[in-house]
Structure 1
Amino acid sequence: MTTPYSRRSFLTGVVATGLVSAGATFLLPGGRTRSKSLDGRPRLCTGTDLTGARAAVIGMWNEAHPDATVDLHEVPGGSRAERDAMVERIRNGAVDIVNLDIVDIREFAKEGYLQQVRLPTRTYFPAVEQVHRVAPDAERYWAVPFNSDVGMLFSRVTAGLELRRPLLPQVIRRDARGVARFVGQLLPDTENDTEAFVVNVLEHALSTDAGILAADGTVSDDPGRWQDALAPLRNAVLHNDVVRARNEEDTRNLFEAGLTHMRNWPARYRGLRHQVDLLPLPAGILGGQSLALVANAANVETSLEFIRFATSEAAQRVTAAHGLAPALTHAYDDPLLLQAMPHLGRVQRALEQAVPRPTHRRYRAFAGAVRRHVLPFLGQPDGRLTGAFTDEITNTLDPGRR
């Protein structure tokens, strides 16, 4: 049996079942991992991972480095709970590596929680590069992408869609039968739902006004411009033309129940019961998680080796096979990966035009302000966005405190 055939068979099995064993070495160049003597067990703090990608990569590392296996601390509860647990463990000297949500990189860097990581030459998507690199001309990174992510439109029915025009305004209208057909994360219930709501709001605003959020993270300070940008979404909410879900999982369940369009992340594609097209948004919001070396790490050399291994192109093939979006552009050149997962080409196009959220140490305060002001604006007939909204978000994102 030839190696290409083995890799193809393995990929097919992973895509179908989500299971990875030691056979994951078929995704590595030459079909083998290489080991070298290392001391110390890297202590990794991370959120939960429903895809199995992280466990697969850690398993590959542990198999090749039995004397330097990863000591994993997994935090349930969502993005905010993960961030808080990581801060506590860093302050207590109880962690070497944190698997950061992309929105927390700037805060952790500015607070002095992270060490810079120097990498061999790698090619990331422009938006990914911008968020992670210490400086535009440096080879040093505050955190190294484990996986990327980008908001996309899932569609069972593409007839009638003009694919060269913004998609969201087209699908937030009822169908010919007068039935709502779109579901997104538009009804936050808890603090952990805030981020899902904010990225949806930003994508809808960008679909109407591409300048509402600039590539450098600058947001418009004109409340009238925000009202106009969100007017199509607001009209759809007020007329019950859309279905509003709390989070990504609820959105997927409602979509599976019979709706024809949803906004979600690519990882939700695997396992859908029906044939679905995955369509790039002209300005999908960039997401992802990244591995960072903490400033007071006890196992620096081993932790750096693990970070480089877990974020390499070979490891990104494994994460892709589990449904996550690779951050390295070269991962999308693997013909066997594309054969097993043809939708990766559309994920690639979405990442090429993705828009990062404001890269600011107080990003979470910005997100809270968006929720407080925009949620009532969308749902109340007399709701308005005033100068209080734009003053708060622009003050929160003060460039002097970036």
Structure 2
Amino acid sequence: MKNTVIPCLGAATVAAALLSAPALAVELTIACGAVGIERQVCIDGANRWAEQTGHSVDVVATPQSSTERLAMYQLLLRERHNTVDVFQIDVIWPGLLGEYLLDLSPYVPDTDAFFPNLMANNTVDGRLIAMPWYVDTGLLYYRKDLLDRYGHPVPQTWDELETIATDVQLGERSQNGNFWGYVWQGSDYEGLTCNVMEWLVSSDAGTVVSTQGVVTLDNDRAARIIDQAAGWIDTISPPAVLEYQEEDARAQFEAGNALFMRNWPYAWRLANEPESAVSGNVGVTVLPQGDSGMPSGALGGWQLAVTEATRYPALSADLVRFLTSESEQRRRADFGYLPTRSALYNEPELTQGNAVFEPVGRALENVAVRPSSATGRTYKYVSRYVSGEIHEVLRGTKSTSDALASITDRIVERGLGDLQRP
């Protein structure tokens, strides 16, 4: 008889391990990864679980496009197919897919080890329908050499960023007419929604729609920070930033044409590649805070969920538990996948080898969660309202007060759940 390893990981894990005898071995299916490292680290983790339990896992490749991946998931989940047991889902999909997913809370004994905001994002109608696997959040990149040259510290507030960017931009323009103080994502798409959420949460201005379903956007603090952001256009940010997405901002920064850049953690490694004009001169930190807020960053990343249609709920949940375990998150960190367990951000062997760990850990303490769980299936409309209306403000074709009132009215008039004005 094959020896079975039964680690001391709680009743659910022990029960699953007891099913590992060859006669009862089953094959689970997980949809995760598309190509390259993302797919391989998923395969490696699934194989490690299989070795411990005696079961097997079939890893199904998913489309690279998030839109195509979501369409695939919706088809399988709505039709109650059990051909896939575990799904890798985007951080903004719990509210959209929650009704088809298993409540994992009975199967995961250490939920308090994860950042609370991440767990709250994955809890829909009191049900924990996904576990956070790895995380992304918005960060501020800066030119260390230029801050030193002009005698400026790393900015702590948006006001400081504005002042420093203005001064350094003025000085650098004599050598580089294409130089700007700050590049970010101003195009009318989900990336602008992320930027807006960071402005709001860092200024203690609410989250557009609260977890109680109240539209919180139309307030003085929100108006103040959005007015400030609109003032960056053609002063410290190029007019073209209104069409920028992540790669556009990165291209300008790596070409040496910007002092500051807002981007995701992936940009750290790329900014320091040999072909980058700023390699070796880049620093990274949390995004600034407003007058009355705290540093923040928009929450991104991927979660693991189990379909309610699975024939093996306990085993599928145990696979999720294993893949989000401390050992697996530590292993995945070697490939640049940032952990969702708060304690790992205090481990020197991890943080010293990756400069983004410390600022990501700080940002996650006050992370800007998009209101996807609160608005469920209708989040896509809320995000379109936010990015579309705020884009008009940035372009100078609509006032901030009109845009905030319009977004609020459109959300309420659409009747999204129990949404109401505060």
Relative to the length of structure 1, the TM-score reads 0.77
Aligned residues: 355
Contact 1:313 1:330 in 2 (8 A): no
Matches within 5 A, 1:313-328: 313-328=326-341
Shift of 1:197: 1.6
**Match among 406, 411, 419 for residue 388 of structure 1:** 406
Q: Distance in 1 between matches of 2:220 and 2:359?
A: 34
Instruction: State the identity %.
Output: 24
User: Are the equivalent residues in 2 in contact too, given 1:145–1:290 (CA < 8 A)?
Assistant: yes
One of 169, 176, 195 as aligned partner of 2:170: 176
Of 366, 369, 377, the match for 2:393: 377
The answer as to whether partners of 1:285 and 1:357 remain within 8 angstroms in 2 is yes
Give the C-alpha shift of residue 85 in structure 1: 2.0
Which stretch has the larger CA shift, 64-73 or 354-363? 64-73
The separation in 1 between residues aligned to 2:301 and 2:209, in whole angstroms, is 17
The correspondence for 1:59, drawn from 33, 36, 44, is 44
Offset of residue 201 of structure 1: 2.0
Q: Give 3-state SS (helix, strand or coil) of 1:263's partner.
A: strand
CA deviation profile, 1:335-385 (whole Å, cap 9, x unmatched): 322232244122211211212122321222210111221212211355553
- Letter aligned with residue 28 of structure 2: P
Q: Is 1:62–1:70's contact at 8 Å kept on the other side of the alignment?
A: no
Quote how far apart the aligned CAs of 1:232 are. Answer: 1.9
Matches within 5 A, 1:202-213: 202-207=197-202, 209-213=203-207
Whole-Å separation in 2 of the counterparts to 1:351 and 1:397: 31
- C-alpha displacement of 1:144: 0.3
Greater gyration radius: 2
Say which SS state the counterpart of residue 202 (structure 1) adopts.
helix
Match status 1:195 vs 2:181: no
Q: Which moved more, 1:228-237 or 1:267-276?
A: 267-276
Is 1:103 matched with 2:92?
Answer: yes
Distance 1:152 1:302, change over 3 A: same
Q: 1:331 aligns with which of 337, 344, 350?
A: 344
Asked whether the equivalents of residues 143 and 292 of structure 1 are also in contact (C-alpha less than 8 Å), the reply is yes
Q: Flag the 1:226–1:329 CA change in 2: closer, same or farther, 3 A.
A: closer
Structure 2: give runs of 5+ residues left out of the alignment: 1-16, 174-178, 273-278, 288-294
Corresponding residue to 1:220 among 211, 216, 219: 216
CA deviation after TM superposition for structure 1 residue 291, in Å: 0.3
CA-based RMSD: 3.1
Shift of 1:152: 1.0
| Structure 1 Cα separation of the partners of residues 363 and 415 of structure 2 | 26
CA deviations over 1:241-291 (Å, ceiling 9, x no partner): 245254323332332111232111223322432132211121212222100
- 2:60 alignment counterpart: 72
Instruction: Kindly state the Cα deviation for residue 104 of structure 1 after the two structures are TM-superposed.
Output: 1.1
Aligned partner of 1:257 in structure 2 is 255
The yes-or-no answer on 1:400 pairing with 2:418 is yes
The residue aligned with 2:121 is 131
Whether the 8 Å CA contact 1:148–1:324 is kept in 2: the answer is: yes
Could you say which residue in structure 1 is the equivalent of 2:31?
A: 45
Task: Give the unaligned 5+ runs of structure 1.
Answer: 1-34, 189-193
The 1:366/1:397 distance shift into structure 2, 3 A limit, reads: farther
Counting only pairs closer than 5 Å after superposition, residues 326-365 of structure 1 correspond to structure 2 as 326-358=339-371, 359-360=373-374, 361=376, 362-365=378-381
SS in 2 for 1:62: helix
Show the 5 A alignment for 1:14-33.
none
C-alpha contact (below 8 Å) 1:172/1:233 kept by paired residues: no
1:176 offset after TM fit, Å? 2.1
Q: Which stretch of the first structure deviates more once superposed, 168-177 or 81-90?
A: 168-177
Partners of 2:114 and 2:341 within 8 A in 1: yes
Pair 329,156 (structure 1): closer, same or farther in 2 beyond 3 Å: same
Q: Which residue of 2 aligns with 1:153?
A: 140
Decide whether the 8 Å contact of 2:32 with 2:39 is kept in 1.
no
Matched residue SS, 2:303: strand
Aligned residue identity for 1:39: A
What whole-Å deviation, never above 9, does each CA across 1:28-87 have from its counterpart, x for those lacking one? xxxxxxx8557333323346466x24522421432552651233131122x333222210
- The letter for the 1-side match of 2:63 is V
Partners in 1 of 2:313 and 2:366 — Cα distance? 35
Contact 1:43 1:73 survives alignment (8 Å):
no
Label 1:134 to 1:224 Cα distance change in 2 as closer, same or farther (>3 A). closer
Give the deviation of 1:390 after TM superposition. Answer: 2.0
State how far apart, in whole Å, the 1-side matches of 2:102 and 2:228 are: 44
Q: What is the deviation of 1:135?
A: 7.1
Equivalent position SS for 2:56: coil
